[in-house]
Amino acid sequence: MQNNVIKELLYKMADDAFILGHRNSEWTGIGPTIEEDIAFSSMAQDKIGHGAALYTILHEQFGEVDPDTNVYKRSAQNYRCSQFVQLPIGDYAFSLMRHFLFDHAEYLRYQALQNSSFTPLAQLAHKIKGELKYHVLHADTWVRQLGTATEEARLRLQTALNEAFPYALGLFEQGKYETELQTNDIFIGEEALQEQWLNAIEPIIQQANLQLPDLTSVQAVYGGRKGIHTEHLQPTLEEMREVLSVDEDAEW
């Protein structure tokens, strides 16, 4: 039972990081400035690395298939990533807002996991929290700057926030083992994490002259944790697997 409890948590975290890392890598070569081109590429590489580390824990601690097989030979319906990370990059305002919303959640998740009773995950959290702190700093800086730049920039960010927010709430979709995660001191649970996240992002949103959508009127987009995905995931996986289709022995 406890193996399944931890595996569910690891899979959703790994799949989120890996798919969003791939998505953000699509900005390589087309970023709005060379600095942002480099920044998004670097952070995408970090996320793919975080995913790889989690797949490695699944392999070494629970006997799951090796990371290459797990990523490149698993069917789309067996992925547990949120629908949020599957969405196309859109314009820079959308990608920036997704970066802001996702990385605040990810930073807080790993901050909590530093105290996890599952030692390999706690050790990983200590290791990569610094990278995530940089990601959050980057996102906060640009959201503040663009939100207070011109009216057009502010409106584009607000539009992106309105579009992204229901999907971002899907990051906190609860799984089957929420009670077990908390009882066994593995993780604080998605409800507690969402509350921390809202408290963290709201001051930045206000400083950027933006407004959070009303939680009482927003329908969270769930399903990803249960294998219900957008039309975008399968094409993304096929693109990721292009090299494998040519060389089955290729490694990433």
In this predicted structure, what is the pLDDT of residue 237? 94
* The Cα angle at residue 233 between residues 231 and 237, in degrees rounded to 5: 135
- Angle at CA of residue 222, ends 93 and 117, nearest 5°: 100
Question: pLDDT at position 179, please?
Answer: 96
Give the Cα separation of 157 and 197 in Å (integer).
Answer: 19
- What's the pLDDT tens digit per position in 151-198? 999 999 999 999 999 999 999 999 999 999 999 999 999 999 999 999
pLDDT of residue 34: 81
Compute the distance between CA of residue 31 and CA of residue 38 in angstroms, rounded to an integer. 8
Instruction: Give the pLDDT of residue 37.
Output: 82
Is the C-alpha dihedral spanning 130, 134, 135, 136 positive or negative?
A: positive
Could you list the beta-strand ranges (E) of 23-179.
Answer: none
Euclidean distance between CA atoms 145 and 25, whole angstroms: 23
CATH T-level topology, domain 2-246? Ferritin (1.20.1260)
Check residue 77 and give its pLDDT.
Answer: 96
The phi and psi torsions of 198 (rounded to 5 degrees) equal -60, -40
The pLDDT of residue 28: 86
**pLDDT computed for residue 29 by the predictor:** 85
pLDDT per residue, tens digit, the chain (252 aa), is 579 999 999 999 999 999 999 999 998 887 778 888 888 999 999 999 999 999 999 999 999 999 999 998 999 999 999 999 999 999 999 999 999 999 999 999 999 999 999 999 999 999 999 999 999 999 999 999 999 999 999 999 999 999 999 999 999 999 999 999 999 999 999 999 999 999 999 999 999 999 999 999 999 999 999 999 999 999 999 998 876 666 666 665
pTM of the shown model? 0.95
